[in-house]
């Protein structure tokens, strides 16, 4: 049985942050159902990150795949660079 996304995050929090840093990503935050504590076995883990200027979409996609392997749950990665300051994702995101 796969873990709930918030459980997987709790178990691998530091490893996820270290992994993000390897891919040029920082300020790892969680939003969505896992961030609100309402995730289920069918939920994914929604992650908000800040990317270094040299990091492109392929790097972010690779990070997502490796993060899924680490956590054992589906992962969606959103970067904060293009979001307006009042975007709901930014308002609801919590530190990972």
pLDDT in tens, 13-40: 999 999 999 999 999 999 999 999 999 9
Pair 67, 22: CB distance under 8 Å: no
What's the pLDDT score for residue 33? 94
Reported as a pLDDT band with limits 50, 70 and 90, residue 96 is confident
Reported as a pLDDT band with limits 50, 70 and 90, residue 46 is very high
Pair 18, 11: CB distance under 8 Å: no
34 located within any domain? yes
Element (H, E) at 44: none
What's the pLDDT score for residue 6? 94
If you average pLDDT over every residue of the chain, what do you get?
95
27 located within any domain? yes
Give the structural domain span for 22. 5-82
Q: How many domains does the chain have?
A: 1
88 located within any domain? no
31 located within any domain? yes
Q: Residue 59: give its domain's CATH number.
A: 3.30.460.10
Q: Which residue has the tokens 């530190």?
A: 95
Q: What share of the chain is helix, strand, coil (3-state, %, to 5)?
A: 45, 20, 35
57 located within any domain? yes
Reported as a pLDDT band with limits 50, 70 and 90, residue 72 is very high
């Amino acid at each position: 049985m796969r873990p709930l996304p918030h459980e997987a995050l709790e178990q691998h929090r530091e490893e996820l942050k270290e992994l993000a840093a390897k891919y040029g990503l920082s300020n790892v935050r969680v939003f969505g159902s896992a961030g609100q504590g309402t995730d289920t076995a069918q939920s994914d883990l929604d992650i908000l990150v800040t990317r270094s200027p040299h990091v492109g979409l392929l790097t972010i996609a690779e990070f997502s795949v490796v993060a899924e392997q680490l956590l054992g749950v589906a992962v969606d990665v959103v970067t904060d660079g293009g979001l307006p300051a009042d975007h709901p994702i930014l308002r609801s995101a919590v530190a990972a």
